[in-house]
Amino acid sequence: MDDRRDLVVVGAGFAGLACAKRAAERGLSVLVIDQQPSPGRYVHTTGILVKEAQAEWAAPAPLVRRMDRVRLYAPSHRHVELRGNGYYFLATDTPKLMQFLADETRRAGAEIRFGSEFVGMTRNGRHLVLDGHGVGGRFLVGADGVLFKRVAGKVFFARFAAR
């Protein structure tokens, strides 16, 4: 294995890109892999941002629209309204926003490979090597979403089996 990074992130959603961008800005060598073919291809959100996320990313105005309150409906049609003094949310063009976030993450110095699926990993000295990718990282972040849990599953089962 010749390709060694400080950090490998699985998942180029909000969590993975935020982590990768911050780590790259601090000088770590970072690789992000994501199984979807391009950013924002499969969106796992309605697209409402909290203001703290906008403060972090500063998405361009055409991609976001400010709202002072959000009303969430349950299937029963009962709802809860979210609003606060001076607080705001943003409705987003989510596929374009994800493309923007990926561009910003690359600009910070991280490499992102779309169309790359995490299937497992093997320990090689101080590195975790991604099966089938020929690349390893000293640290691995599983940001593969609440619905997928592939990375957490592999780590959990590896530890469980080692006991």
Taking the least distance from each CB to ligand FAD, the nearer of 9 and 127 is 9
Tell me, letter by letter, the H, E, C secondary structure of the chain. CCEEEEEEEECCCHHHHHHHHHHHHCCCCEEEEECCCCCCCCCCCCCEEEHHHHHHHCCCHHHEEEECEEEEECCCCCEEEEECCCCCEEEECHHHHHHHHHHHHHHCCCEEEECCCCCCEEEECCEEEECCCCEEEEEEEECCCCCCCHHHHHHHHHHHHHC
Nearest approach, Cβ of residue 17 and ligand FAD (Å): 7
Nearest approach, Cβ of residue 126 and ligand FAD (Å): 23
Binding-site ranges for ligand FAD (CB under 6 A): 10-16, 33-36, 42, 44-48, 117-118, 143-145, 148, 150
Nearest approach, Cβ of residue 40 and ligand FAD (Å): 9
Taking the least distance from each CB to ligand FAD, the nearer of 122 and 125 is 122
Taking the least distance from each CB to ligand FAD, the nearer of 27 and 80 is 80
Taking the least distance from each CB to ligand FAD, the nearer of 24 and 144 is 144
